[in-house]
């Protein structure tokens, strides 16, 4: 069985596929990968050297992102806009109800 590997210029494995194809990928025989490859895979954690997949001795795990993501910021802005629209609609409805009840002229 073959693996499709997408590599960067340092031969670090960015992604892989066991089914289908990746653009600009190299092929590797599945018997040339470590037993824990699927479990431990992270982009750049493994290198492809001389037809074998090995752990990258220079791998540094990425720092976790702290704080809201870009999508969180977009969602918050949408919710804020909706809350403002609801507030405006509630004020308008109150004014209409007052006029209907004869409270204002």
pLDDT confidence of residue 105? 57
pLDDT confidence of residue 42? 94
User: In angstroms, how far is CA 35 from the centroid of its own chain?
Assistant: 27
Q: What angle do CA 7, 36, 66 make, to 5 degrees?
A: 70
Name the CA dihedral angle for 51, 52, 57, 59, rounded to a multiple of 10 degrees: 80
pLDDT in tens, the chain (105 residues): 789 999 999 999 999 998 888 888 999 988 888 999 999 999 999 999 999 999 999 999 988 878 888 999 999 999 999 999 999 999 999 999 999 988 655
d(CA 71, CA 84): 20
Q: What is the DSSP letter of 25?
A: -
pLDDT confidence of residue 104? 59
Q: Where are the domains of the chain?
A: 2-55, 63-105
pLDDT confidence of residue 65? 76
The token pair that represents 80 in the structure block? 């804020």
Q: Considering only CA atoms, which of 19, 14, 13, 60 is closest in space to residue 32?
A: 13
């Amino acid at each position: 069985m073959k693996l499709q590997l997408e590599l960067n210029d340092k031969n670090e494995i960015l992604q892989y596929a066991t089914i289908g194809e990746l653009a600009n990928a190299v092929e590797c025989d599945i018997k040339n990968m470590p037993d824990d490859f699927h479990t431990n895979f992270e982009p750049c954690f493994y290198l492809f050297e001389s037809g074998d997949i090995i752990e990258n001795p220079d791998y540094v795990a990425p720092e976790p992102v702290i704080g809201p993501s870009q999508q969180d910021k977009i969602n918050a802005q949408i919710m804020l806009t909706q809350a403002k629209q609801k507030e405006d609609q509630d004020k308008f409805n109150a004014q209409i109800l007052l006029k209907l009840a004869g409270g204002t002229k």
